[in-house]
Structure 1
Amino acid sequence: MSGNLIKYSAITTKVRAMQSHLLTSDDFKKLSNMETTTEFIAYLKKHPGYASFFASFDEQRLHRGEIERILSDTIFFDYAKIYRFASLEQRKILDIYLSYFEIKVLKECLQYIFHKERISEPPRFKPHISSHFNLNVEALTDSKTMDEFISNLRNTEYHSLFLKLQNSSSKSLFDYQIQLDIYYFQKIWGIAKRKLRGTNSNVLSSLIGKEIDLLNILWVYRFKKYYKVNSTDINSCMIPIHYKLSKSDLTKLIETNSLDDFLKAFESTYYYKTNKLEEMSIEDLYYKILQKAYKTSKVKNPSSIAPIVYYLFLKSQQIDRLTTALECVRYNLEPNETLKYVLQ
Structure 2
Amino acid sequence: MRGGWQRRKSSVTEWGKKMAGGLLEYSGLVTKTKAMRARLLGADDYTAISEYESVTDFIAFLREQPAYAPVFERHGEVAHRGQVEAVIRDSLYMDYCKLYRFSGVQPRRALQFVFSRYEINVIKNCLQSAMEGNGREITVSGGFFERHADFDLKAVMAANSVQELIQAVTGTEYESLLKELESAAEKSYADYAFALDIYYYKKVWKEITKVSDKETRQILEQIFGTEIDWQNLMWMYRAKRFYSMGEADVKKHQIPVSCRLRSAETKRLLETETAEQFVEFVRQTAYFRGKQAVLEPEDELTWERVMIRTYEKICKKHPMSVAPVLRYLYEKEHEIDLLTTALEGIRYRIPPYEIRDLIFAM
TM-score of the aligned structures, taking structure 1 as reference length: 0.92
Q: 2:275 aligns with which of 233, 255, 259?
A: 259
RMSD: 2.0
CA distance in 2, matches of 1:121, 1:306: 33
CA distance in 1, matches of 2:76, 2:313: 41
Identical residues among aligned pairs (%): 33
CA distance in 1, matches of 2:154, 2:225: 34
Q: Residue in 1 aligned with 2:357?
A: 340
CA distance in 2, matches of 1:13, 1:159: 40
Q: Residue in 2 aligned with 1:83?
A: 100
Q: Residue in 2 aligned with 1:20?
A: 38
- Structure 1: segments with no counterpart, 5+ residues: none
Q: Residue in 1 aligned with 2:25?
A: 7
CA distance in 1, matches of 2:356, 2:68: 20
Deviates more, 1:14-23 or 1:328-337: 328-337
CA distance in 2, matches of 1:325, 1:184: 29
Letter in 2 for 1:340: D
Q: Secondary structure at the match of 1:270?
A: coil
Q: Residue in 1 aligned with 2:304?
A: 287
Q: Residue in 2 aligned with 1:120?
A: 135
How far off its partner does 1:56 sit? Answer: 6.0
How far off its partner does 1:124 sit? Answer: 4.5
Q: Would you say the 8 A contact 1:109–1:122 is kept in 2?
A: no
Higher relative contact order (CA 8 A, sep 6+): 1
Letter in 2 for 1:21: R
Residues 236-261 of structure 1, C-alpha deviations (whole Å, 9 max, x = no match): 10011111112221222222222223
Residues 61-87 of structure 1, C-alpha deviations (whole Å, 9 max, x = no match): 621111110111111100000011112
How far off its partner does 1:272 sit? Answer: 3.4
Question: For the pair shown, which has the larger CA radius of gyration, 1 or 2?
Answer: 2
Letter in 2 for 1:190: K
Q: 2:201 aligns with which of 166, 185, 200?
A: 185
Q: Residue in 2 aligned with 1:172?
A: 188
CA distance in 2, matches of 1:251, 1:170: 28
1:246 pairs with 2:262 = yes
How far off its partner does 1:18 sit? Answer: 1.0
Residues 150-206 of structure 1, C-alpha deviations (whole Å, 9 max, x = no match): 232211111121222233345221111001111111111122223342111011100
Letter in 2 for 1:136: D
1:138 pairs with 2:154 = yes
Q: Secondary structure at the match of 1:199?
A: helix
Q: Would you say the 8 A contact 1:122–1:142 is kept in 2?
A: no
How far off its partner does 1:93 sit? Answer: 2.3
Q: Would you say the 8 A contact 2:86–2:137 is kept in 1?
A: no
Q: Residue in 2 aligned with 1:296?
A: 313
Q: Residue in 2 aligned with 1:110?
A: 127
CA distance in 1, matches of 2:138, 2:57: 25
Residues 19-68 of structure 1, C-alpha deviations (whole Å, 9 max, x = no match): 11111222112111212221111111111111122236677x62111111
Aligned length: 338
Q: How does 1:8-87 map to 2 (within 5 A)?
A: 8-55=26-73, 62-87=79-104
